[in-house]
């Protein structure tokens, strides 16, 4: 009996090994097809192949991280985070997984947490140009342009044709008031650009972030001359004029953007903010409602509407609107601060303090 048991155990082990080997082989086949689809920018197709690879072999971390990056390219960032976390659970030393989680968090505006994961990826020797570029970008977004130049320089060293890295480095240098080197970076980016409209648009936004509004307008005018039916360009120029307190001209530009794209939620929201600055509160609320109508997930529009309703003294409706903003985006410090302000005006001091604490914790 013992001899027969040994034979049966050996047979079962052999069959199991063959099955697992077959699964692994099928998984690698799907992975190869997925990577090929990614190279051809067929991200949805790649996603399906990565899923098949994972279904064939749950331990295939290359497929899991590949799927995370496909989600990033499709702008499905929460799903990208989930995939990256799944890979990290299987291998806590997988730098690529930390990098992709960091990138996905960054794209959602969670720059502080993103940096933690990007730094961990680099610590684990996953130091590709995308990770370094994203780290530099996030440092700019949290006001540390002084620290952003080095990782962006390193990203360019790894990939000398990295268009976005040159633009981000130029942004950091402008913020550091190093205009000579910034211009050199912009010149390199222009050489690499396959879309001059995109370049001048991004250059304009770069100057806007540095408060150089005349330069920003000049760049956006160049972009508009190349693409006069691009609603985004008029919207961006409107933002520049808003920042420079030219609200009436800004509204004209937002109207132009809306005439080109009647469902442009962000343009309605920006128009509402400009109207608020002109103390046209009723008109502002109408524009925020339009923004919400065309994008029910526009948390900024709910927040901005709440602020205007509070300005008007309509605190109950303001509270409903800010609650909706927080429901959509529970990671915004500003939303909790604004809710605290509304609650304080309603005489709910303890609740106001609680939400201010939440804001301070973010």
- Which long-range contacts (C-beta less than 8 Å, at least 24 apart) are formed by 339-347? 339/306, 341/310, 342/306, 342/310, 342/315, 342/318, 343/319, 345/310, 345/315, 346/315, 346/319
- φ/ψ (deg, to 5) at 288: -65, -40
The pTM (predicted TM-score) of the whole model is: 0.71
For the stretch 256-306, pLDDT in tens is 999 999 999 999 999 999 999 999 999 999 999 999 999 998 999 999 999
Neighbouring C-beta atoms of residue 24, cutoff 10 Å:
14
Interatomic CA distance for residues 147 and 68, integer angstroms: 28
Query: How confident is residue 362, by pLDDT bands cut at 50, 70 and 90?
Result: confident
Instruction: Establish how many alpha carbons lie within 13 A of residue 194's alpha carbon, considering only the half-sphere containing its beta carbon.
Output: 2
- The pLDDT of residue 181: 95
CA triple 286-310-108, angle to 5 deg: 75
Q: Which domains does the chain have, with CATH numbers?
A: 23-126 (1.25.40.10), 263-362 (1.25.40.10)
Average pLDDT, rounded, for the chain: 91
Q: Which of the 8 DSSP states describes residue 228?
A: T
Query: How confident is residue 220, by pLDDT bands cut at 50, 70 and 90?
Result: very high
Longest distance between any two alpha carbons in the chain, whole Å? 94
Tokens coding 352 = 């106001």
- φ/ψ (deg, to 5) at 178: -100, 75
Tokens coding 122 = 């680099």
Interatomic CA distance for residues 340 and 345, integer angstroms: 9
- The pLDDT of residue 142: 87
Neighbouring C-beta atoms of residue 129, cutoff 10 Å:
20
**CB-based contacts of 183, cutoff 8 Å, min separation 6:** 170
Query: How confident is residue 7, by pLDDT bands cut at 50, 70 and 90?
Result: low
| Spatial CA neighbour of 244 closest among 222, 274, 267, 219 | 274
- The pLDDT of residue 17: 46
Interatomic CA distance for residues 81 and 78, integer angstroms: 5
Q: Are 182 and 148 in contact (CB under 8 A)?
A: no
């Amino acid at each position: 009996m013992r001899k027969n048991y040994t034979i049966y155990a050996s047979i079962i082990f052999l069959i199991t090994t063959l099955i697992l080997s077959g699964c692994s082989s099928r998984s690698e086949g799907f992975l190869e097809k997925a990577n090929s689809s990614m190279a051809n920018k067929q991200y949805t197709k790649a996603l399906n192949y990565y899923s098949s690879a994972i279904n064939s072999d749950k331990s295939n971390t290359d497929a899991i991280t590949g799927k995370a990056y496909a989600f990033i390219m499709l702008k499905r960032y929460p799903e990208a985070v989930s995939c990256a976390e799944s890979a990290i659970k299987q291998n806590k030393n997988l730098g690529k997984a930390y990098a992709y989680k960091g990138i996905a968090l960054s794209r959602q505006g969670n720059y502080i947490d993103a940096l933690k994961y990007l730094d961990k990826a680099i610590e684990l020797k996953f130091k590709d140009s995308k990770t370094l570029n994203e780290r530099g970008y996030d440092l700019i977004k949290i006001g540390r342009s002084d620290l952003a130049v080095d990782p962006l320089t390193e990203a360019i060293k790894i990939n000398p044709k990295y268009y976005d890295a040159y633009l981000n480095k130029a942004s950091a240098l402008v913020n550091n008031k190093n205009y000579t080197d910034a211009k050199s970076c912009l010149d390199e980016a222009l050489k690499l650009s396959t879309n001059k409209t995109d370049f001048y648009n991004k250059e304009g936004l770069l100057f806007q972030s540095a408060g150089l509004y005349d330069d920003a307008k000049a760049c956006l005018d160049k972009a508009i001359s190349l693409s006069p039916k691009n609603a985004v360009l008029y919207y961006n120029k409107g933002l520049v004029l808003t920042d420079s307190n030219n609200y009436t001209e800004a509204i004209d530009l937002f109207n132009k953007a809306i005439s080109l794209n009647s469902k442009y939620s962000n343009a309605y929201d920006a128009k509402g903010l400009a109207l608020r600055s002109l103390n046209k509160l009723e008109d502002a609320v109408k524009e925020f409602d339009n923004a919400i109508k065309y994008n029910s997930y526009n948390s900024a529009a709910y927040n901005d509407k709440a602020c205007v309703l509070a300005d008007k003294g309509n605190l109950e409706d303001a509270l409903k609107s800010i609650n909706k903003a927080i429901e959509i985006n529970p990671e915004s410090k500003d939303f909790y601060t604004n809710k605290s302000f509304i609650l304080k005006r309603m005489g709910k001091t303890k609740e106001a303090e609680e939400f201010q604490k939440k804001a301070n914790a973010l």
